[in-house]
Chains A and B, each alone.
Chain A
């Protein structure tokens, strides 16, 4: 591209296509003819029919665009990053979280803080886990880094609150044990991709 073309700030003026609107009427007779033609062309009735069709489709065809928000909600993308959820293992109901601390490490706004201990089975468990949603920027790194798909982004996006700092505890985000059968597998940020099986290499057991 030459410098001249760069310097031309009137971008697009050269390529405009003029719409064919016909010639403007010159004499009074031409003006009169144009008025008569437009009067009997019926364009106004086309407009009426368009709105009537829209009304019939909205009323009887289910083409109403209004969502009555607090009562109805639009479906959100699985990749939407809203308030976090803590998932359980489907079979045993145990926490998926293994207390590895990767989410706390990777969190760029330092809003996750956790503490772990060994339980009676010498299994590591989370003793303290809070997310400060006043600081959280919902970047999704925690969900992406989690090796167990334990912390994920759920569908709760209505998070207006009275205070800036809004702490959420581990139990608040955890799937309730009686709602375990309703727990949705997370297919959003950091989830296993649908073709993961093809991509993984079979572990050679020969040796």
Chain B
């Protein structure tokens, strides 16, 4: 029944052309990388306020142009490649992180769809969809791409001939391999309920207001997904990969300039992606009919983004052994039990 609903929505929309998808892809690239830069500013500000500091203040009003200053610095800094590094892998590793983060965003609905007004030459009347590529296995694709993104830190750490990098790469392996399991299993229960892997179907399933949100039916899955999402995006309780106090900068120790910057654009894009998934799968998603509906999902995404910064200010991070203990002995059994109970309730 849900699939028919989705088909109904899809057939309602104008024809999606390749040029519309191209415009959408350029829009995502431009806006999300700008938002990633803005995210660093917001992170510095929020962390500062929570520690009763001011944060960046001097470049532009309230330090807003700090992003521009940082960007100029990153672009003009010397790109150092260590002598004993595996140069090819060292050079492409940050590209993997950034590229997979943006490829994952291709299947996520970001920003409302619109039609370019007809008075604009060449591109007039082009329909730009809200999802660049509306896959019927959207969630699987996004989670798979984010999992492929772990090759970035892994290869970076192993190629740079630096012991901190090696430790960072080893931690990448244990952390991401552990948490991929929890991410997949925790989101499996909502998928069983909806009976589809498409974000559009998830959105349609929760269309009847706050009462129909998935979080009320699957609170355990929500918490598990959130915890796993923090680990996936390498955020504070689980930021083992590059924890300064322990492994200098982990996998990013030898990186400088824009290659280092690409890791962080990728990390912030992943934060946005996880926020979008959490908002669509558990918190009702967007209301495609009105712009207010898009505003609500922006608020939800902003809340999840803020939560990541908030948690970073409040909580200490865990040791690698604690992380694996938490994942394999607590979260994974909980996720399996959650799936079992969901299945039993669905069959009853």
Q: Which residues of A contact B311 (CB under 8 A)?
A: 48
A55-80 vs B, CB cutoff 8 Å, 1 = contact: the mask equals 10111000111101000000000000
| Given A47-B315, A55-B46, A55-B49, A66:B310 Cβ within 8 A | no
Could you say which residues of chain B place their CB within 8 Å of the CB of A57? 52
Whether A52 sits at the interface, judged by CB under 8 Å, is yes
Residue among B46, B313, B314, B330 facing the most chain A CB atoms (10 A cut-off): B314
Chain A at the B interface: mostly helix, strand, loop or mixed?
Answer: helix
Whether A50 touches B314, Cβ cut-off 8 Å, given contacts A35-B330, A55-B46, is: yes
Known: A51-B310, A55-B46. A44 touches B315 (CB 8 A): yes
Q: Shortest Cβ distance from A68 into chain B, in angstroms?
A: 7
Q: A35-B330, A44-B315, A68-B57 are in contact. Are A51 and B52 (CB under 8 A)?
A: no
Q: Which residues of B contact A66 (CB under 8 A)?
A: 52-54
Cα distance, A52 to B309, chains bound together (Å): 11
Q: Bound complex: CA of A47 vs CA of B317, how far in Å? A: 13
- Which of A55, A57, A68 neighbours the largest number of chain B CB atoms within 10 Å of its CB? A55
| A55 to B311 CA separation, bound complex (whole angstroms) | 13
- Do residues B53 and A65 form an inter-chain contact, with CB atoms below 8 A? yes
Name which residue of chain B comes closest to A63, CB basis: B52
Residues of A within 8 A of B51 (CB): 54
Across-interface contacts of A48 in B (CB, < 8 A) = 310-311, 314-315
Total contacting residues, chain B, CB less than 8 A: 14
Complex Cα gap A57–B50 (Å)? 9
- The binding surface of chain B is classed by DSSP as helix
User: In the complex, which residues of chain B have a beta carbon less than 8 angstroms from the beta carbon of A59?
Assistant: 49
CA distance A68 to B57 in the complex (A): 9
**Given A35-B330, A47-B315, A58-B49; A68-B54 close (CB under 8 Å):** yes
A51: contacting residue among B53, B57, B313, B330, CB under 8 A:
B313
A52 cross-chain contacts in B, Cβ below 8 A? 50, 310
Q: Are B50 and A54 in contact (CB under 8 A)?
A: yes
The 9 residue pairs across chains A and B that have the minimum distance between CB atoms: A51-B314, A66-B54, A47-B314, A51-B50, A58-B52, A55-B49, A65-B52, A55-B50, A51-B313
Q: A47-B315, A54-B49, A59-B49 are in contact. List 17 more A-B contacts (CB 8 A).
A: A48-B315, A50-B314, A51-B50, A51-B314, A52-B310, A54-B50, A54-B52, A55-B46, A55-B50, A57-B52, A58-B49, A58-B50, A58-B52, A64-B52, A65-B52, A66-B52, A68-B54
